[in-house]
Amino acid sequence: MALKEYEVTVDGRHPHKTTMLLSEADAKRLGAVEVKAARPASNKARNPSNKAAKPAATKSRAGVEDASDPDASE
């Protein structure tokens, strides 16, 4: 008996869909729909091409004094 993945709608107060491994006879009895196997992406890179972090953009703070400077005038 070969089991396949089927999508079944579970009835109740809050009906929802779930995936189950069922035989063909059980799938017919429950009214399940066979799930097609998703093909993995063949061109997906295993590692990132560049791991270096980009430096944060610095904005010019002209005219703004450093708050940690005790000699700063107000």
pLDDT of res. 1: 73
pLDDT of res. 56: 63
pLDDT of res. 69: 63
pLDDT of res. 36: 83
Per-residue pLDDT of the chain (74 residues; tens, 9 = 90+): 789 999 999 888 998 999 999 999 999 999 999 988 766 666 666 666 666 766 666 665 555 555 666 666 66
CB within 8 Å of 10: residues ≥ 6 apart: 16, 17, 18
- Which two structure tokens, joined as six digits, stand for 72? 């700063």
